Amino acid sequence: MTDLSLGGFPLDLLALQLVTGIALGAIYVLVGIGLSLIFGLMNVVNFAHGAFFMVGAYVGVFLYGYTGSFWLSLVAAPLAMGLLGLAVERVLVRPLYGRGIDDPLLLTFGLSYCMVESVRIAFGLTGLPFGAPPDLRGAVDLGIGYFPLYRLFLIAFSLTVVGALWLFIERTSFGLVIRAGARDPQIVQVLGIEISKVWLAVFGLGCALAGLAGILAAPLQGVTPEMGIPVLAEAFVVTVVGGMGSLAGAVLAGLLVGIVVAMTSLVAPDMTKMAIFALMALVLLVRPRGLLGRAGALG
């Protein structure tokens, strides 16, 4: 295998970076879909989305330390963030419907301060180290080289979640209500469906996805109170690149961003952080509505 190469890099190294990129992309997909769901239905940009990601990771890591079960963390972190999301929508965001579109954004921005600072109070400023759980450590041979097991697991697990989510939205009656609500909430209300309950549920679902992404990302990087800030910016890039309100766009853009990051870190490590923003700038110049966005959505 090592005799094959492309652009000076051996193919197995490129394949490894590709897997790394897709694993990173899977995180972006989960975060981006949560953001996109909330936005597409409610016109609310959740600026605390990165904070939900971070708190989800902390909840998961904390529970793992107590119970030793990563699977439990994987269920509990999204559950906790979903419940927190429900409370936030009900108590803080709901009074703002009918006001300017900036108001929920500003409120969730303030909320993210409170969440980050609360985590600092509870867990300290420096963050916690966290590695892959023992069952998922090590590497497996896929025939073209060895790949870290956890990253493969992360990809498979995220794909399953995204697939389930797609089925939920496209094939269930509640999914139909969500899609109808994104189109025209007034008609949905007239048809006798209490749209505010749908909004509540979707806000919770979006936050749960952020929490799930957080605990899935934790073994890759450890957890710090500030880990949500770059993720928020990257999730915005995903939604702008993919096209706002398009779930397929979020999946495509998330994977694309992940792969671009991984490949840049191989070719030009200094440029890694900037590459995704360059990608966004390019998309804005060439196709401002995003890859799969609808015409006119961006003006």
Partner 1 sequence: MSAPVPGHALAQGTPLAAPRPGSGRTGRWLALASRHRVALTLAFLVVFPWVAPYQALAVNILVLGLYALGFNLLFGYTGLLSFGHAAFLGGGAYGCGIAIVHYGLHPVLALVAGTLLATFIAAAMGVLAIRTRGIYFAMTTLALSMCVYYAFYRAEAFTGGENGLRGINVPVLTLPGFLLDLLDPVVKYYAVLAVVGGAVWLFSRLLSSPFGAALKAIRENEGRAQACGYDVRRMKLVAFVISGALCGLAGALQAIHLSIVPIETMHYATSGQAVMMALLGGMGTFFGPFIGAATFSLLQDGLSTLTSHWQLFVGAIFIAFVLFLPLGIWGEVLARLRRAGW
Binding stretches for partner 1 (CB under 8 A): 39, 42-43, 45, 92, 94-103, 105-107, 109-114, 116-118, 120-121, 183-186, 189, 195-196, 199, 229-230, 232-234, 236-237, 239-240, 244, 270, 273-274, 277-278, 280-281, 284-285, 288, 294-299
Question: What is the distance between the alpha carbons of residues 295 and 280, in angstroms, rounded to a whole number?
Answer: 17
- CA-based nearest residue to 27, from 177, 218, 217, 262: 217
> Closest distance between partner 1 and the C-beta of residue 7, in Å?
23
For residues 157-172, one letter each, b for 16 or more C-beta atoms within 10 angstroms of the residue's C-beta and e for the rest, the string is: ebeebbeebeeebeee
Which amino acid makes up residue 43?
Answer: N
CB 151 within 8 A of CB 23: yes
Neighbours of 189 (CB within 10 A): 14
Question: What is the distance between the alpha carbons of residues 284 and 291, in angstroms, rounded to a whole number?
Answer: 10
- Closest to partner 1 by CB, 102 vs 135, is 102
> Closest distance between partner 1 and the C-beta of residue 74, in Å?
29
- SS3 label, residue 294: coil
> Closest distance between partner 1 and the C-beta of residue 255, in Å?
18
The burial of 3, by beta-carbon neighbours within 10 Å (0-12 exposed, 13-18 middle, 19 or more buried), is given as exposed
> Closest distance between partner 1 and the C-beta of residue 274, in Å?
5
Question: What is the distance between the alpha carbons of residues 226 and 177, in angstroms, rounded to a whole number?
Answer: 36
- Closest to partner 1 by CB, 109 vs 166, is 109
- Closest to partner 1 by CB, 66 vs 277, is 277
> Closest distance between partner 1 and the C-beta of residue 148, in Å?
26
Question: What is the distance between the alpha carbons of residues 111 and 114, in angstroms, rounded to a whole number?
Answer: 5
- Closest to partner 1 by CB, 15 vs 179, is 179
- Closest to partner 1 by CB, 62 vs 109, is 109
Kindly tell me the sign of the dihedral angle through the C-alpha atoms of 130, 133, 139, 141: negative
- Closest to partner 1 by CB, 43 vs 175, is 43
> Closest distance between partner 1 and the C-beta of residue 286, in Å?
10
- Closest to partner 1 by CB, 33 vs 116, is 116
> Closest distance between partner 1 and the C-beta of residue 184, in Å?
6
Which amino acid makes up residue 34?
Answer: G
Question: What is the distance between the alpha carbons of residues 104 and 83, in angstroms, rounded to a whole number?
Answer: 19
